[in-house]
């Protein structure tokens, strides 16, 4: 019995010693872990990029407040054109030769004012037919009246009176047909007097002669346009809006139009948005009326339209709009550069809720009023890769 206990005591001592060493090791590691902390409890340090403040403006880096004047919309191109409701093309209804011109390009005209005269052979023929039809109708009407009078006095037969009435009806129909032919040629019954074969081209609206293709002595065809008359007091701006930006524009919106060549901004109102999107351009055309009472604006002028962004989004509070250029890809993230001080920017990851070629809708990572790099942010991204 004594021998058995002598063998087991050393093994028990070994076990006790090993347990003590394990407890001691665990106790020593605990203070070290408390000193270093864990990733879940330790706040991640924000990345920053530093840029020479003097070089920012020179390189085109524009910093502005989110939701501020510099960030209220996006720009789309367009041109000024004549308003189709105040525009008219004048031509002849039959082939003929120009015999006189009464207006010049740039001249202001009134509705109904004579523009030119054209000699038309078919009109001369129609006028001659009208004169003959009018004479035949007059003779037939006289004969009908005489036969009716004779019939009342029983000096003729009912048959003779009926024949006279038939002639009167037939010649009157021929007269009406001749008048209709002249009216179709743009002359009218009064144009038959004299039988000159000339038709007059007159202004259909008040306006300015903006184009004259008629030349004295030239033979014009019915399909050709001789004059263009337009009223320039109101013009129409036609702007192209990308498919993804359509939700930001609607009929009735006021739009600021900038003319670079004159360094002026004018106002236009959206009157019509075409229903079809271009297959290749993926854009549609919006039409805006632009007042031009002084006539200083010219059709064909290039303009830039500033489309305003809404104050809120359908995604609810917290969504903000920024120019597409302000958001830069960085690895697997989209980031913006928030100005903390002159030349110092915080690199802030953001959530893109809606992206278009002109504007991006962000989540709640950025607040209204924070100053970010609106333009030239790609330079800051390049600088970040160097640091």
User: Tens digit of pLDDT for each residue in 115-158?
Assistant: 999 998 888 888 888 888 889 999 999 999 998 888 888 888 88
Please check the confidence at residue 257 and state whether its pLDDT lies above 80: yes
Mean pLDDT for 329-357 is: 87
Q: Identify which of 304, 295, 306, 307 has the alpha carbon closest to the alpha carbon of residue 82.
A: 295
Give residue 239's pLDDT band: very low, low, confident or very high (50, 70, 90). Answer: very high
What mean pLDDT, rounded, does the chain reach? 80
What are the start-end ranges of the E strands in 184-282? 198-202, 207-212, 219-220, 227-230, 234-242, 254-259, 264-273
Q: Tell me what the mean pLDDT of segment 326-336 comes to.
A: 90
Mind listing the domains of the chain with CATH numbers?
Answer: 47-72+313-386 (2.40.420.20), 74-83+231-308 (2.40.30.170), 88-120+203-230 (2.40.50.100), 123-196 (1.10.287)
Mean pLDDT of 191-217: 83
Q: Higher model confidence: residue 317 or residue 89?
A: 89
pLDDT over threshold 50, residue 22: no
Query: Under a CB-based contact definition with an 8 Å cutoff, are residues 361 and 45 in contact?
Result: no
Grade residue 290 by pLDDT with cuts at 50, 70 and 90.
very high
CA distance 148 to 134: 21
Please give the pLDDT value at position 4: 42
**Tokens encoding 164:** 């006279």
Per-residue pLDDT, 34: 40
The structure tokens listed for 184 are 């179709």
Side-chain half-sphere exposure of 47, counting CA atoms within 13 A? 14
Q: Are 307 and 249 in contact (CB under 8 A)?
A: yes
How far apart are the C-alpha atoms of 353 and 317, rounded to whole Å?
Answer: 13
In this prediction, residue 180 carries a pLDDT of 86
- For the residues 88-97, what does the mean pLDDT come to? 90
Distances, alpha carbon 73 to alpha carbons 239, 252, 262, 272, 289, in Å = 15, 17, 22, 20, 20
322 vs 31, higher pLDDT? 322
């Amino acid at each position: 019995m004594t021998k058995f206990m002598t063998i087991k005591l050393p093994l028990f001592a070994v076990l006790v010693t090993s347990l003590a060493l394990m407890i001691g090791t665990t106790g020593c590691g605990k203070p070290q872990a408390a000193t270093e902390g864990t990733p879940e409890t330790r706040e991640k340090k924000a990345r920053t990029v530093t840029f020479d403040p003097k070089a920012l403006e020179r390189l085109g880096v524009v910093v502005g407040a989110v939701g501020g004047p510099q960030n209220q919309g996006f720009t789309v191109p367009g041109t000024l054109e004549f308003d189709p409701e105040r525009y008219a093309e004048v031509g002849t209804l039959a082939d003929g030769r120009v015999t006189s011109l009464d207006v010049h390009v740039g001249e202001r005209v009134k509705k109904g004012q004579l523009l030119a005269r054209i000699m038309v052979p078919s009109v001369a023929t129609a006028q001659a037919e009208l004169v003959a039809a009018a004479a035949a109708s007059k003779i037939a009407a006289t004969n009908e009246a005489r036969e009716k009078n004779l019939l009342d006095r029983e000096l003729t037969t009912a048959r003779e009176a009926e024949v006279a009435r038939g002639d009167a009806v037939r010649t009157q129909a021929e007269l009406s047909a001749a008048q209709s032919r002249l009216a179709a040629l743009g002359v009218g019954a009064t144009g038959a007097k004299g039988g000159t074969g000339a038709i007059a081209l007159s202004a259909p609206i008040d306006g300015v002669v903006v184009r004259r293709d008629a030349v004295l002595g030239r033979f014009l065809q019915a399909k050709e346009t001789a004059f263009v008359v337009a009223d320039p007091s109101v013009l129409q701006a036609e702007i192209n809006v990308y498919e993804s930006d359509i939700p930001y524009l609607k009929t009735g919106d006021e739009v600021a139009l900038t003319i670079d060549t004159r360094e002026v901004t004018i106002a236009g109102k959206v009157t019509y948005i075409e229903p079809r999107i271009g297959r290749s351009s993926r854009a549609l055309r919006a039409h805006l009326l632009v007042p031009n009472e002084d006539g200083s604006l010219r059709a064909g002028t290039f303009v830039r339209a500033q489309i305003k962004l809404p104050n809120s989004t359908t995604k609810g509070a917290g969504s903000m709009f920024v120019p597409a250029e302000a958001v830069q890809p960085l690895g697997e993230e989209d980031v913006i550069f928030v100005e903390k001080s002159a030349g110092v920017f915080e690199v802030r990851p953001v959530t893109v809720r809606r992206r278009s070629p002109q504007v991006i809708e962000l989540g709640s990572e950025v607040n209204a009023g924070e100053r970010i790099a609106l333009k030239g942010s790609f330079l800051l991204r390049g600088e970040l890769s160097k640091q």
